[in-house]
């Protein structure tokens, strides 16, 4: 099945994605379900390695193995990744496949790790078995929707950059635009995961929809980064998603960054856009506050997938 063009070792990269504000859109068809909103892709994120053992492996009834950050995970702890892999494994394939996912950001903190793992896994299958980007990305999106992952991360990650989801839906249906901006970095502070299910009761969801639509309308009228951050902060505060600790952290940050800081949707954390020259003041503040933080670049490309070979001794470099 695999040849020189369908290699045995593959690597994919999917950017981390932070949502600034959103409107969930549920439809009967998972491919039409998605979100409206805005966010940013980062040059750190999820890296997925796939290794294919064509045949000859002891076949123990398991053709598929998934690991997160080097630790094997069971089907129950990686429902989305197993779902993607099983849908994309050709029926006639009787070898063994290992999927190793590595995350630059902590899980559950609003960086789109789940979608990153799903899309990265999908991309390795796509390259290995001759399917297109949108074809496999649709599988990742549907697995996200059906299993309670993100609604808009996959399409946002496909678009890259600072993005505005102007039509909801999965790959090929949703439409994602980009805010054009000078080079900016993104500071993210991550205090921990958030319990999404506890937060999103019916009343909150109604406010989210109203505030999210309002923010989207205003951003499409004036699509610039400072406007996006103003709108995101207002969204976070008005929906009550942003707790007092995050508000006070954001106020501290506002003193050293050029645009408003806001909450990472959905994690206990905040993010801000900064210029190179702002970094010393930002790092000074965050070190004083002693909070875990990361500085990334905006990732303006598309997700990547390629064959991967380790360099051995004596290989040309």
Q: Which DSSP symbol is given to 187? A: E
- 145-174 footprint of a second copy as x/- string (CB under 8 A): ---------------xx--x-xx----x--
- 224-253 footprint of a second copy as x/- string (CB under 8 A): xxx---------------------------
Residue pair 11/305 in contact (Cβ under 8 Å)? The answer is yes
Instruction: Report how far residue 111's alpha carbon sits from residue 13's, in angstroms, rounded to the nearest whole number.
Output: 14
Q: How far is the CB of 205 from a second copy (least distance, A)?
A: 27
Is residue 31 a contact residue for a second copy (CB under 8 A)?
no
Q: How far is the CB of 67 from a second copy (least distance, A)?
A: 23
Is residue 217 a contact residue for a second copy (CB under 8 A)?
no
Nearer to a second copy, 57 or 180 (CB): 180
Q: Please, which residues bridge with residue 19 across strands?
A: 39, 265
Outline where 3-64 has alpha helix (H): none
Nearer to a second copy, 117 or 171 (CB): 171
Q: How far is the CB of 240 from a second copy (least distance, A)?
A: 30
Q: What are phi and psi of 115, to 5 degrees?
A: -65, -35
Instruction: Report how far residue 269's alpha carbon sits from residue 192's, in angstroms, rounded to the nearest whole number.
Output: 7
Residue pair 12/45 in contact (Cβ under 8 Å)? The answer is no
Q: What are phi and psi of 108, to 5 degrees?
A: 75, 10
Residue with tokens 């899309």: 119
What are 5's two structure tokens? 């063009």
User: 15: burial class by Cβ within 10 Å (0-12, 13-18, 19+)?
Assistant: buried
Q: How far is the CB of 305 from a second copy (least distance, A)?
A: 6
What are 125's two structure tokens? 């299958």
Q: How far is the CB of 91 from a second copy (least distance, A)?
A: 16
Nearer to a second copy, 22 or 273 (CB): 273
Is residue 119 a contact residue for a second copy (CB under 8 A)?
no
Q: Tell me which of 51, 181, 196, 297 binds a second copy, using CB under 8 A.
A: 181
Query: Which residues lie near a second copy (CB under 8 A)?
Result: 5, 7, 123, 126-127, 130-136, 160-161, 164, 166-167, 172, 175, 177-183, 220, 222-226, 300-302, 304-307
């Amino acid at each position: 099945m695999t040849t020189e063009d369908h290699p045995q070792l593959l690597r994919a990269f999917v950017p981390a994605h932070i949502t600034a504000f959103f409107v969930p859109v549920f439809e009967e068809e998972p491919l039409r379900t998605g979100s409206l909103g805005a966010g940013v892709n980062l040059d750190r994120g999820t890296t997925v390695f796939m290794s294919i053992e064509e045949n000859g492996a002891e076949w123990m009834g398991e053709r598929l193995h998934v690991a997160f950050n080097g630790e094997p995970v069971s089907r129950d702890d990686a429902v989305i990744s197993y779902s993607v892999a099983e849908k994309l494994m050709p029926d006639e394939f009787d070898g063994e496949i290992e999927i190793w996912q590595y995350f630059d950001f902590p899980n559950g903190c609003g960086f789109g790790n789940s979608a990153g793992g799903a899309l990265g896994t999908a991309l390795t299958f796509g390259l290995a078995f001759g399917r297109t980007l949108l074809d496999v990305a649709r599988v990742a999106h549907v697995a996200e929707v059906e299993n309670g992952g993100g609604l808009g991360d996959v399409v946002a990650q496909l678009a890259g950059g600072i993005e505005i989801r102007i039509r909801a839906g999965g790959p090929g249906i949703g439409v994602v635009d980009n805010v054009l901006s000078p080079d900016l970095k993104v500071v993210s502070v991550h205090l921990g995961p958030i319990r999404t299910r506890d937060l999103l009761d019916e009343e909150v969801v109604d406010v989210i929809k109203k505030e999210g639509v309002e923010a989207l309308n205003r951003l499409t009228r004036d699509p610039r980064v400072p406007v996006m951050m103003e709108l995101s902060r207002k969204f976070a505060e008005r929906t009550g998603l942003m707790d007092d600790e995050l508000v006070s952290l954001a106020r501290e940050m506002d003193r050293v960054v050029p645009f408003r800081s806001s909450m990472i949707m959905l994690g206990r954390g905040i993010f801000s856009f900064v210029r190179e020259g702002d970094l010393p003041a930002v790092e000074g503040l965050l070190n004083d506050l002693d909070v875990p933080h990361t500085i990334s670049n905006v990732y303006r490309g598309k997700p990547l997938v390629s064959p991967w070979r380790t360099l051995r001794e004596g290989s040309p470099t």
